[in-house]
Every structure is written in structure tokens, then in C-alpha cells.
Amino acid sequence: MWTQSSLTWPTSANGIQTRASSVIGQVGADHGENRLSALESDAAFSRHPLSPDAQGLLNLRTELDHLLTQGQVLTVTPYQFQVGSESESGEVLDTDVAIKRLAEKLRDYADAHRPSGQLHAIAVMITAATRQQFAEQLKQVTAVIPLPEWCQALRHTQSLLAADHEKLRKPAAMIQPRFKAVAPLTTKPFVGMNAALGTQIATLESLASDRVNVIGKLRQLAEKRQSTLQAVNDTLQAMQSMDAQVWSIALTAELAGLSHQLTEMLPPNYHRYAVASLILSASPMPFFKELLCSP
């Protein structure tokens, strides 16, 4: 039967705190700073053999930071309001219409976020003759470069394809309320308790870690570093394996010039399904130019 209960601090949490405090309360009484100062003269280690070579490559961080650029992305898809058009098979966006709409947007002086000055631009587009091909190409490209509007177009296209197969199926209505996905049960006061006790337990783990001597810890660290470097190398190798194609072109001009160049360009084809984006930045975009515009 139902009973009225007062909120009570859980004994399970209190037990953890009590046992942890029996050791945590003594931390600092061992004069750790004095012990470390006495051992400071013994902690003289020679440099790693690769240290000078690594120091000569520290400028790579600056080069990596230069690949990050600020910019804006304009996108047109068949499912945007006043962009796509209706057909018997659903929303479509012709290739030439997509390019024309991007060119028109560059001349939209009413947009407060319209950029100005000399700009670097990358126009990228995928086209398909059928909705199924359109979904397949979107899936391949968004696996490499997940532009938000392209991902949205992929989900919309996939839902339309699924609807074509399930038109005659009527699913049973669910009873309210609905089950949510399984997730950690975190709410106050559990969050605060978990953070506080987690700090105490982390201190216990640190104190207990001296069961392995310094050489053993360094050996574990070296093994962890080697494992991490191998995982990073595998990740980079996997990222370089790309199985997707797009139509693209790199341009440099002010907005009026970019609009004119887009208008004068012939579309690569006249497919009914297209999604196109214009990536704009006041700075060069070497990473995206090499990613999207390499032959």
C-alpha cells in the first residue's frame, strides 16, 4: 500500500563517506611537502633521445591552429521553405535552381548577417536522379563532413523513403506516458553527493596507487602512451579513407562577384534532387579546399 515517507539521507551514501573519511581525514598529517623537498635532488633525469627532434616540430601546433577558420555556410535543400518545389514524387530541387538560389542570396541586402569585403568561397553540391540515389550520396558525404543542413536533408529523405514502404501499415497507438531511453538517474541531491564522494574516493585511489613503484608507473605510462598513439594513428588512417564524391569549385571575390560567377556557371547536370552549400570566409580555407576541391 502507499505510505507517506520523509526524505532521508541514504545510508548507502553515508556509509561510503564514513569509510572514506577514516583515511581522508589523515591526509596532510604525513608532511608530504617536506618529504618531497628532501627527495628533490634525486629527481634529476636526462632528456628523452627524441626530445630535441620533438622540440624542432613544436611549430606544428601553430600550423594546425591556422587550419581553423571562421566563416559562414549557406545551404539549399529540397525541403526548405520557398526553396524546393513540389512534384508528384514529393519535394525536389533542380540543380540549376539550387545554384540560382545561392546566387540570389548573395545579393540579399536585407540579411543583417550578410558578409562583406573580399571573400574566399567553396561551392559544394551533390545531385541525384532519384530519391534513393540522393539518400545514398548524402549518407556517404555526411559520414565525412556532417554539415547540419545536409544531415537534416538525409534524415528527411530517409523518412520519405521509409514512408513509401509503410504507407499501408498502421502502427498501434502507444499508451501515454511513454518510456524514455535508459539513462543514468542523476538528480539532486545525488549529483552533489556523487561529486563529493567521488573526490574522496579519487584521493583513496591515489593513496593506494603506490603499490606500484615509480619505475612500474613509468612503464605503465609508456604502455598507455604507445596504445594512445596507435589509436590516434588508426583514427587518422580511417579518416583518410573516404568513399564519397561531390561537385565543387573554389572562388575568391566580393559577394557581387561571387553571385555573378555562380550565375554564369553551367550546372554539372540537370538532376531533380540536389543539395548545395556555399562556404564563405574572409580567410583562406586550405583544409576544406583540399578536402572538397581536390580532383
Q: Averaged in consecutive runs of 10 residues, what is the pLDDT profile of the chain (295 residues)?
A: 66 81 70 67 73 87 88 93 83 92 92 91 93 93 92 92 74 87 86 90 87 81 88 86 87 93 90 94 91 84
- End-to-end, the C-alpha distance of the chain in Å comes to 73
Torsion angle in degrees (nearest 10) through CA of 163, 165, 166, 169: 160
Nearest to 259 by CA among 74, 70, 69, 83: 74
Q: Are 150 and 142 in contact (CB under 8 A)?
A: yes
Give the helix/strand (H/E) hosting 140: helix 131-142
The pTM assigned to this predicted structure is 0.72
Instruction: Tell me the C-alpha distance between 204 and 28, whole Å.
Output: 13
Give the helix/strand (H/E) hosting 126: strand 119-128
Give the helix/strand (H/E) hosting 125: strand 119-128
The C-alpha cell that represents 183 in the structure block: 539513462
Mapped to the 3 state alphabet, what secondary structure does 225-285 carry?
Answer: HHHHHHHHHHHHHHHCCCCCCCEEEEEEECHHHHHHHHHHCCCCCCCCEEEEEEEEECCCC
Residue 279 has a CB neighbour count (10 Å cut-off) of: 23
Q: Are 248 and 292 in contact (CB under 8 A)?
A: yes
Task: Tell me what pLDDT residue 163 has.
Answer: 78
Task: Tell me what pLDDT residue 6 has.
Answer: 67
Task: Tell me what pLDDT residue 241 has.
Answer: 81
